[in-house]
Amino acid sequence: MRSLALAFVFAVALVVAGCVAPGSTVKPASALPTGAVGGLAFAAKLIDPVRAGGEPVIQVTQKGTLLVSAHPGWTHTRYPPSPNLVTPASGQSYMWRSTDNGTTWTPLGLPMGGGVGPRGLGQGVSDPDFAMDSKGRVYFTDLEGLVSASVSWSDDDGATWIEGNDIAASFGGAPIDRNWLAADGTSVYFMGNYFTGGENVIRSTDGGVTWSKVAASSC
Protein backbone atom coordinates (compact mmCIF):
# COMPACT_ATOMS: atom_id res chain seq x y z
CA MET A 1 0.00 0.00 0.00
CA ARG A 2 1.02 3.62 -0.40
CA SER A 3 3.30 5.22 2.13
CA LEU A 4 2.31 7.86 4.65
CA ALA A 5 4.42 10.31 2.69
CA LEU A 6 1.86 10.28 -0.13
CA ALA A 7 -0.90 11.09 2.32
CA PHE A 8 1.16 14.04 3.58
CA VAL A 9 1.68 15.33 0.04
CA PHE A 10 -2.03 15.00 -0.60
CA ALA A 11 -2.85 16.94 2.55
CA VAL A 12 -0.59 19.78 1.45
CA ALA A 13 -2.22 19.78 -1.98
CA LEU A 14 -5.67 20.08 -0.44
CA VAL A 15 -4.50 22.94 1.71
CA VAL A 16 -3.17 24.89 -1.25
CA ALA A 17 -6.31 24.20 -3.28
CA GLY A 18 -8.65 25.34 -0.50
CA CYS A 19 -10.77 22.21 -0.76
CA VAL A 20 -14.29 21.93 0.61
CA ALA A 21 -17.27 19.77 -0.28
CA PRO A 22 -20.32 21.58 -1.71
CA GLY A 23 -23.08 22.01 0.85
CA SER A 24 -21.15 20.20 3.54
CA THR A 25 -20.67 21.28 7.13
CA VAL A 26 -17.03 21.28 8.07
CA LYS A 27 -15.01 22.57 10.95
CA PRO A 28 -14.20 26.30 10.50
CA ALA A 29 -10.81 26.89 8.95
CA SER A 30 -9.82 28.96 11.97
CA ALA A 31 -10.18 25.85 14.14
CA LEU A 32 -8.10 23.68 11.82
CA PRO A 33 -4.31 23.68 11.49
CA THR A 34 -3.02 26.85 9.81
CA GLY A 35 0.36 28.19 8.90
CA ALA A 36 2.35 30.33 6.49
CA VAL A 37 5.40 29.58 4.37
CA GLY A 38 7.08 32.16 2.17
CA GLY A 39 4.09 34.49 2.36
CA LEU A 40 1.58 31.75 1.43
CA ALA A 41 -1.25 31.09 3.89
CA PHE A 42 -2.34 27.52 4.58
CA ALA A 43 -5.68 26.32 5.97
CA ALA A 44 -7.00 22.75 5.92
CA LYS A 45 -10.53 22.06 4.66
CA LEU A 46 -12.44 18.87 3.87
CA ILE A 47 -13.45 17.69 0.41
CA ASP A 48 -16.12 15.29 1.62
CA PRO A 49 -17.37 14.73 5.19
CA VAL A 50 -19.15 11.47 4.25
CA ARG A 51 -16.75 9.47 2.06
CA ALA A 52 -13.66 8.70 4.12
CA GLY A 53 -10.79 7.71 1.85
CA GLY A 54 -7.19 6.61 2.06
CA GLU A 55 -4.07 6.59 -0.13
CA PRO A 56 -5.17 9.76 -1.96
CA VAL A 57 -3.77 11.15 -5.23
CA ILE A 58 -4.37 14.45 -7.03
CA GLN A 59 -4.16 15.56 -10.68
CA VAL A 60 -4.40 19.03 -12.19
CA THR A 61 -5.63 18.96 -15.81
CA GLN A 62 -4.52 21.27 -18.60
CA LYS A 63 -7.68 23.33 -18.02
CA GLY A 64 -6.93 23.72 -14.32
CA THR A 65 -9.54 21.23 -13.13
CA LEU A 66 -8.60 19.36 -9.96
CA LEU A 67 -9.17 15.61 -9.74
CA VAL A 68 -8.72 13.68 -6.50
CA SER A 69 -9.07 9.96 -5.95
CA ALA A 70 -8.80 7.81 -2.82
CA HIS A 71 -9.72 4.26 -1.98
CA PRO A 72 -12.88 3.80 0.12
CA GLY A 73 -11.98 4.12 3.78
CA TRP A 74 -12.74 0.69 5.11
CA THR A 75 -9.60 1.06 7.24
CA HIS A 76 -10.20 4.74 8.03
CA THR A 77 -12.68 6.52 10.24
CA ARG A 78 -14.66 9.58 9.26
CA TYR A 79 -14.00 13.14 10.37
CA PRO A 80 -15.06 14.00 13.04
CA PRO A 81 -13.94 10.63 14.44
CA SER A 82 -16.61 7.97 14.40
CA PRO A 83 -16.64 4.33 15.54
CA ASN A 84 -18.30 3.45 12.24
CA LEU A 85 -15.55 2.45 9.79
CA VAL A 86 -18.01 1.43 7.06
CA THR A 87 -18.19 4.11 4.36
CA PRO A 88 -20.46 4.18 1.30
CA ALA A 89 -18.81 2.77 -1.81
CA SER A 90 -19.79 1.52 -5.26
CA GLY A 91 -17.09 -1.10 -5.76
CA GLN A 92 -14.34 1.26 -6.91
CA SER A 93 -12.12 4.00 -5.55
CA TYR A 94 -13.63 7.41 -4.92
CA MET A 95 -13.07 10.28 -7.31
CA TRP A 96 -13.88 13.98 -6.86
CA ARG A 97 -13.71 16.87 -9.34
CA SER A 98 -13.39 20.62 -8.83
CA THR A 99 -13.57 23.28 -11.55
CA ASP A 100 -13.31 26.30 -9.23
CA ASN A 101 -9.81 25.89 -7.81
CA GLY A 102 -10.96 23.61 -4.99
CA THR A 103 -13.75 25.80 -3.59
CA THR A 104 -16.38 23.14 -4.31
CA TRP A 105 -16.10 19.46 -5.16
CA THR A 106 -18.35 16.98 -6.96
CA PRO A 107 -18.02 13.24 -6.30
CA LEU A 108 -18.00 11.24 -9.53
CA GLY A 109 -20.21 8.20 -9.21
CA LEU A 110 -23.03 7.41 -6.83
CA PRO A 111 -22.22 5.51 -3.60
CA MET A 112 -24.16 2.26 -3.48
CA GLY A 113 -25.39 3.11 -6.99
CA GLY A 114 -25.35 -0.36 -8.49
CA GLY A 115 -21.72 -0.12 -9.61
CA VAL A 116 -22.02 3.31 -11.24
CA GLY A 117 -18.82 5.23 -10.69
CA PRO A 118 -16.05 7.17 -12.36
CA ARG A 119 -15.19 4.23 -14.63
CA GLY A 120 -18.69 3.10 -15.53
CA LEU A 121 -18.95 -0.50 -14.41
CA GLY A 122 -15.21 -0.84 -13.83
CA GLN A 123 -14.35 -2.18 -10.42
CA GLY A 124 -11.51 -1.33 -8.09
CA VAL A 125 -10.85 -0.92 -4.40
CA SER A 126 -7.41 0.61 -3.82
CA ASP A 127 -4.19 2.27 -4.99
CA PRO A 128 -5.68 4.77 -7.47
CA ASP A 129 -3.31 6.86 -9.57
CA PHE A 130 -3.51 9.51 -12.32
CA ALA A 131 -1.40 10.57 -15.29
CA MET A 132 -1.99 13.04 -18.13
CA ASP A 133 -0.44 13.04 -21.61
CA SER A 134 0.56 16.05 -23.70
CA LYS A 135 -2.82 16.09 -25.47
CA GLY A 136 -4.68 16.44 -22.17
CA ARG A 137 -6.05 12.91 -21.95
CA VAL A 138 -6.22 11.96 -18.28
CA TYR A 139 -5.54 8.35 -17.28
CA PHE A 140 -6.69 6.57 -14.13
CA THR A 141 -5.77 3.20 -12.68
CA ASP A 142 -7.45 1.36 -9.83
CA LEU A 143 -6.37 -1.82 -8.10
CA GLU A 144 -8.96 -4.58 -8.18
CA GLY A 145 -8.36 -6.26 -4.85
CA LEU A 146 -4.81 -7.53 -5.65
CA VAL A 147 -6.36 -9.62 -8.42
CA SER A 148 -6.01 -7.25 -11.33
CA ALA A 149 -5.79 -3.60 -12.41
CA SER A 150 -7.02 -1.60 -15.37
CA VAL A 151 -6.48 1.83 -16.91
CA SER A 152 -9.32 4.16 -17.87
CA TRP A 153 -9.15 7.57 -19.52
CA SER A 154 -11.07 10.80 -19.90
CA ASP A 155 -11.06 13.25 -22.80
CA ASP A 156 -13.51 15.72 -21.26
CA ASP A 157 -11.42 17.05 -18.39
CA GLY A 158 -12.33 14.22 -16.03
CA ALA A 159 -16.12 14.56 -16.29
CA THR A 160 -16.65 11.09 -17.79
CA TRP A 161 -14.41 8.04 -18.10
CA ILE A 162 -13.94 5.21 -20.59
CA GLU A 163 -12.97 1.88 -19.07
CA GLY A 164 -9.82 0.52 -20.66
CA ASN A 165 -8.19 -2.87 -20.83
CA ASP A 166 -7.64 -5.18 -17.90
CA ILE A 167 -3.91 -4.88 -18.37
CA ALA A 168 -2.72 -6.81 -15.33
CA ALA A 169 -4.04 -10.11 -16.65
CA SER A 170 -2.25 -9.60 -19.97
CA PHE A 171 1.18 -8.78 -18.55
CA GLY A 172 2.15 -11.05 -15.71
CA GLY A 173 -1.23 -12.11 -14.40
CA ALA A 174 -2.28 -11.88 -10.77
CA PRO A 175 -1.75 -11.06 -7.98
CA ILE A 176 -0.70 -7.44 -8.46
CA ASP A 177 -0.09 -4.48 -6.16
CA ARG A 178 1.37 -0.96 -6.18
CA ASN A 179 0.09 0.09 -9.60
CA TRP A 180 1.45 3.41 -10.89
CA LEU A 181 0.96 5.59 -13.97
CA ALA A 182 3.21 8.12 -15.71
CA ALA A 183 3.03 9.92 -19.06
CA ASP A 184 5.68 11.21 -21.44
CA GLY A 185 4.39 13.09 -24.46
CA THR A 186 1.57 10.99 -25.88
CA SER A 187 2.85 7.77 -24.32
CA VAL A 188 1.52 6.47 -21.01
CA TYR A 189 3.34 3.98 -18.77
CA PHE A 190 1.95 1.52 -16.22
CA MET A 191 4.03 -0.25 -13.59
CA GLY A 192 2.86 -2.90 -11.17
CA ASN A 193 4.35 -5.33 -8.67
CA TYR A 194 3.33 -8.82 -9.75
CA PHE A 195 4.74 -10.49 -6.63
CA THR A 196 5.96 -13.79 -8.12
CA GLY A 197 6.91 -12.21 -11.45
CA GLY A 198 8.57 -9.03 -10.24
CA GLU A 199 7.71 -5.60 -11.57
CA ASN A 200 6.58 -5.02 -15.13
CA VAL A 201 6.53 -1.70 -16.98
CA ILE A 202 4.20 -1.53 -19.95
CA ARG A 203 3.56 1.31 -22.38
CA SER A 204 0.72 2.52 -24.58
CA THR A 205 1.30 4.85 -27.52
CA ASP A 206 -2.31 4.89 -28.71
CA GLY A 207 -4.04 6.47 -25.73
CA GLY A 208 -4.37 3.33 -23.60
CA VAL A 209 -6.01 1.10 -26.20
CA THR A 210 -3.10 -1.34 -26.62
CA TRP A 211 -0.06 -2.00 -24.44
CA SER A 212 3.38 -3.59 -24.78
CA LYS A 213 5.99 -4.54 -22.19
CA VAL A 214 9.06 -2.32 -22.19
CA ALA A 215 10.82 -3.30 -18.96
CA ALA A 216 10.76 -5.86 -16.15
CA SER A 217 12.62 -6.76 -12.99
CA SER A 218 12.84 -9.86 -10.84
CA CYS A 219 12.71 -7.88 -7.58
Tens digits of residue pLDDT in 26-61: 444 344 455 666 677 777 778 887 777 888 899 999
Give the pLDDT score at 27: 41
Task: Spell out the domains of the chain, with CATH numbers in brackets.
Answer: 50-217 (2.120.10.10)
Give yes or no for a contact between 20 and 100, defined as CB atoms under 8 angstroms apart: no
pLDDT band per the 50, 70, 90 thresholds, residue 76: low
Looking at per-residue confidence, does 212 or 11 come out higher?
212
Looking at per-residue confidence, does 139 or 198 come out higher?
139
Q: Of 69, 73, 93, 92, whose CA–CA distance to 82 is shortest?
A: 73
CA distance 85 to 216: 38
Of the chain, the percentage scoring pLDDT greater than 70 comes to 59
Q: pTM of this prediction?
A: 0.74
Q: Is residue 8 scored above 70 in pLDDT?
A: no
Of the chain, the percentage scoring pLDDT greater than 90 comes to 23
Average pLDDT over residues 2-24: 37
pLDDT per residue over 89-146, tens digit each? 667 788 999 999 898 998 887 555 554 566 665 567 788 999 999 999 999 988 877 6
Pair type for strands 66-72 and 34-37: unpaired
CA distance 4 to 121: 30
Give the pLDDT score at 33: 55
